[in-house]
Amino acid sequence: MTSNAPLILSTACEPGSVLQARFQEYGYLHFKGYIPKARCENLLQQIVAQCEPHITADPESGLPMLVDEPFFETDAVWDLVYPKIQSLESFHRFFHEPDIIRLMESVCGKPVFVYPMKMARISTPKKLGYETPPHQDAHSHQAGDTMAGIWVALQDIDEAMGRLKLLPGSHKSGVRPVHQAEGVGGVQCEIFPHETTWHVSDVEQGDVIIFHSCCVHKAEPNIAEKASRFSVDTRFCDYGAPMFITNIEPHHGWRIPALNWESIFCDWQHDELKYYWKDYPAITDKLLAER
């Protein structure tokens, strides 16, 4: 039997040492409304526009609604819309805004490096069993010790819409064995018998969750009628820490033929984020995660 407890709240005005201690204790930090809503709404509407006609913004609420067949990462519709989402300059820029970098630095206590790979998540209703299974990013991103994930809710997300859940303290047991599973990422990690309480809450547009590379996390199924859930995330590490080479690829660039940086950059207005990682001193092809 598993149970849920609410996410533990942190605030950006707490001292870095307090945030770092809480991060080491629970493996994650939840910041309510850290990113201005208008910035999230703007990105949400740009991303939803790429999903037309499969998902559309409700004319009254502006919320993304599934119009036709449900889909998940790697389905044909997703493969069609995802390169368009990846091409949005605003989507990549989102994680390089000074306030986001400041938050990452406060959690790390050091300057940080933001991973090139940026992820947009679309959780549609009626795709039960295909939600993200429990996993550790240390495995999926071959990450070293100081890597963390940063996840931002682009809209309010309630219990029906597929919330993000975290297993508190799970980062303390290292990288776990995995087995194949349905759902985003295709693998599931081991959960130990004593790990029965997950942390999860409804979140609001602009909420940020930062999680340790070994913190086990998963998504709940979206059981809403039509409401689709959109969030964005990336990874970061202490500046200079090794980053495994696959993280310099666009998300899903390894399986969607036309999804590469040249095509992504095609309509960008600015150059400074193009290949910003080329001088990063620690891109490695040696596996980092202990297993």
Ligand X SMILES: O=C(O)CCC(=O)C(=O)O
Question: Which residues bind to ligand X, rule: CB under 6 A?
Answer: 121, 123, 132, 137, 149, 151, 164, 217, 219, 231, 233
CB 221 within 8 A of CB 172: no
CB 3 within 8 A of CB 197: yes
CB 27 within 8 A of CB 168: yes
- Output 219 or 264, the one with its CB closest to ligand X: 219
Q: Least Å distance between CB 279 and ligand X?
A: 26
- Strands annotated E in 100-169: 112-123, 148-153, 164-166
Q: Least Å distance between CB 40 and ligand X?
A: 14
- Output 226 or 274, the one with its CB closest to ligand X: 226
Q: Please list, in sequence order, all residues whose beta carbon lies within 8 angstroms of the beta carbon of residue 262, skipping any fewer than 6 positions away.
A: none
Shortest-Cβ-distance residue relative to ligand X: 219
Q: Are strands 148-153 and 208-212 parallel, antiparallel or unpaired?
A: antiparallel
> Residue 125 gets which letter from DSSP?
S
Helices and strands (DSSP H and E) totals, the chain: 7, 16
Q: Least Å distance between CB 123 and ligand X?
A: 6
What is the greatest pairwise CA distance in the chain?
Answer: 52
- Output 22 or 218, the one with its CB closest to ligand X: 218
Q: Least Å distance between CB 177 and ligand X?
A: 18
- Output 228 or 258, the one with its CB closest to ligand X: 228
Q: Least Å distance between CB 184 and ligand X?
A: 6
Q: Least Å distance between CB 212 and ligand X?
A: 12
Say which amino acid occupies 281: P
Which of these, 258, 279, 269, 256, lies nearest to 92 by C-alpha position?
269
Collapsing DSSP to helix, strand or coil, 14 comes out as coil
Q: Are strands 243-244 and 283-284 parallel, antiparallel or unpaired?
A: parallel
Q: Least Å distance between CB 272 and ligand X?
A: 25
- Output 113 or 130, the one with its CB closest to ligand X: 130
* Exposed/middle/buried for residue 85 (C-beta within 10 Å: 0-12, 13-18, 19+): buried
- Output 16 or 129, the one with its CB closest to ligand X: 129
- Output 65 or 219, the one with its CB closest to ligand X: 219
